[in-house]
A and B are shown apart, each in its own frame.
Chain A
């Protein structure tokens, strides 16, 4: 066991550090460092424009999407080199939020299913941030049961005509393109009648409407399709093979979202060191200490588990579905920590005004955002199913819709 860099890794780190030092947008650093939970603070500068500029500069110098092949705008780097890059990029990595879906999920799907012409045309511009992509999967009536989706694609000449609605689409309003999963055959079993496409988000008939979330913010959108035409050449994979193609996206989603999710623990530790409680500070209280220990064990467990995943990566192994535990543990933890931190502040904990609430209302923001963490990218319950079935090898759930043509599956009142 050895936690230090190998000689090659240390040399790479030096090179990365020097380039970042010479090129990073240092005028943004104080604002980025002061970003509250779930926000990207760029002071008076335009966040999206600054993000695009930093991404372009990285891409021009070969520091974008490091593990991708060079012909797609990457560097052909190893996964460990990518991790080192992330560690050194540090606070400037906050600027990458708008590109995560395109780079983490859409591009891998294109790499596995698009034509060579399309790969050459689109992937390098995803790397450079010139074009932003989104993922159009979830629907109002199909979340966990994604394969139950209803957005229709019907063939008309060389085009497909799309009608339906997607929901929970991050960044649709900034996106140039999207990958879309549709139902092309409702008369076969639900997994078999799906087909994937990509399309321009500027296509006629695409209507993007922001969702006002329970926490008052609007990170996600609804996207409506009314007779939207997509040329057959933009189909990803065979007709009816959309489920298999989408699994590539979802596997990458786990990798993109699964690692390094905030738990709130460092914020809590900071709070209890100074917060008065009884005759001392909160950290001296035995009840507080027991909770801290319990949460630290989980936070350290996640950190140490990622160190083991990195070790597996550096040996050329592929991390399996056990990566699912990251979000399952972190999401619950953040919700519990936020509740506990607020509880320690008495009624003052109810304040959400950042100018008077503790830490610019960080725990209040976590409290109100954390329910979504336990749902997005796989609910806690779906993640437990994945662990039980794919890691522990338990039998699949009984499915009432197994083998039944999609248009004969009972759907309750919402249809």
Chain B
């Protein structure tokens, strides 16, 4: 039994962490928060130069082919730093869509540019303010063009390449590629609870598009892609949770009240201990999901949903209670607590909310028929 990352994988994580601490400080996050930049371009090109965008892209398509365990650890560091880049949209969703469902020609044409940081991606699915269902997708594809509107597209305002879920003339759902270097859409940046992430509404009016790969059952493809992306986003959530916990612990040691460090009060201590427990369980569940992702294990749907629910809970609890430990200062714009709180709530929704994933978890659990394995 070896349930740990290798030394090489940890080295890559440390290199990523060092790069982010030097180049992606809170000044970068706040530049996007306050609208001075749409994303941290310097960080993005730095990630490309280090080969991190292509961590899981095979070498034949211009990536480093390092693999998914490595990508999980990169994701954790990006989450800890709140890196304001389109990494998740581009790498966990668009790249995965191309790798899993794209044609050979599409992969060969697009993946090298993605790995080089020249193409930023966005995943355009959601159209309505409801939990996502097949029926809620009304965007159509016919005669080589898309028509319709995507309400919330993370990184949609800065993307060069869109993967769009739409309905064909026969009424079947499928994925379509829109190359914004040539095709035109109407894009409007919109405000969200996390302004450190670009978010846009995108309207297609006879926008040129092509089917992604052979155009299989789009809904099933979406669920499979979400399982994979859920693992990677879970590592971002884990990174954010652990960083928020660190912030809270650090503050509890230095802030004095009633003549003593507030971290010596059990009311604070026990809250921090509970944050630690939730984060630690999430970390272990993320490890298990990383293994399932990297080996394409049959357990992936269950492991992914478990990591997703666990990491969502951990990031939400740690970011919320981090503000509580900071007291009034935690509610100021100037302190960084709200940035983690905002990100935790955005990430909790990005692939569908907690209730959606709780439901998927129970489906996965029943499908494995081995609940006793988790005793």
| Contact surface of A with B, Cβ cutoff 8 Å | 1-5, 9, 80, 262-263, 265-266, 269-270, 273, 283, 286, 289-290, 292-294, 296-305, 307-308, 310-312, 314, 322, 325, 328-329, 381, 383-385, 387-389, 391-398
Chain A residues in 8 Å Cβ range of B2: 1-2, 311, 314
Chain A residues in 8 Å Cβ range of B274: 384
Chain A residues in 8 Å Cβ range of B309: 293-294, 297
Contact of B371 among A262, A265, A311, A387 (CB under 8 A): A265
* Size of interface on B: residues with Cβ below 8 Å to A: 50
Query: Is A387 a contact partner of B285 (Cβ separation < 8 A)?
Result: no
Contact of A314 among B1, B285, B287, B374 (CB under 8 A): B1
- Taking A311-B2, A394-B249 as known contacts, 20 extra A-B pairs with beta carbons closer than 8 A to each other, sorted by chain A number, are A4-B1, A262-B375, A269-B365, A269-B372, A289-B358, A293-B309, A293-B362, A296-B371, A296-B374, A301-B285, A301-B310, A304-B281, A381-B266, A381-B270, A384-B274, A388-B263, A388-B270, A394-B253, A394-B272, A398-B264
Tell yes or no: B109 within 8 A of A by CB: no
Tell yes or no: B313 within 8 A of A by CB: yes
Chain A residues in 8 Å Cβ range of B366: 273, 283
Q: Would you call the interface of chain B mostly helix, strand, loop, or mixed?
A: helix
Query: Is A307 a contact partner of B280 (Cβ separation < 8 A)?
Result: no
Q: Would you call the interface of chain A mostly helix, strand, loop, or mixed?
A: helix
Chain A residues in 8 Å Cβ range of B49: none
Contact of B294 among A1, A269, A310 (CB under 8 A): A1
Which residues, 58 to 79 on B, are CB-close (under 8 Å) to A? 69
Chain B residues in 8 Å Cβ range of A265: 371, 374-375
Query: Is A308 a contact partner of B287 (Cβ separation < 8 A)?
Result: yes
Tell yes or no: B282 within 8 A of A by CB: yes
Give the distance in Å from the alpha carbon of A368 to the alpha carbon of B140 in the complex. Answer: 59
Chain A residues in 8 Å Cβ range of B333: none
Contact of A329 among B3, B266, B281, B287 (CB under 8 A): B281
A-B contact pairs, 21 of them (CB 8 A): A3-B3, A294-B309, A296-B361, A297-B310, A299-B374, A300-B288, A301-B310, A302-B281, A302-B284, A304-B281, A304-B288, A308-B284, A310-B3, A325-B280, A384-B273, A387-B277, A392-B272, A393-B253, A394-B272, A395-B263, A398-B260
Give the distance in Å from the alpha carbon of A68 to the alpha carbon of B224 in the complex. Answer: 48
Query: Is B306 a contact partner of A300 (Cβ separation < 8 A)?
Result: yes
A101 smallest CB distance to B (angstroms): 23
Query: Is B273 a contact partner of A388 (Cβ separation < 8 A)?
Result: yes
Give the distance in Å from the alpha carbon of A98 to the alpha carbon of B270 in the complex. Answer: 34
B365 smallest CB distance to A (angstroms): 6
Residue of B nearest to A383 (CB): B273
Query: Is B264 a contact partner of A394 (Cβ separation < 8 A)?
Result: yes
Residue of B nearest to A385 (CB): B269
Query: Is B280 a contact partner of A311 (Cβ separation < 8 A)?
Result: no
B270 smallest CB distance to A (angstroms): 4
Give the distance in Å from the alpha carbon of A292 to the alpha carbon of B366 in the complex. Answer: 11
Q: A296-B361, A384-B270 are known contacts. Are A391 and B276 too (CB-CB below 8 A)?
A: yes
Tell yes or no: B94 within 8 A of A by CB: no
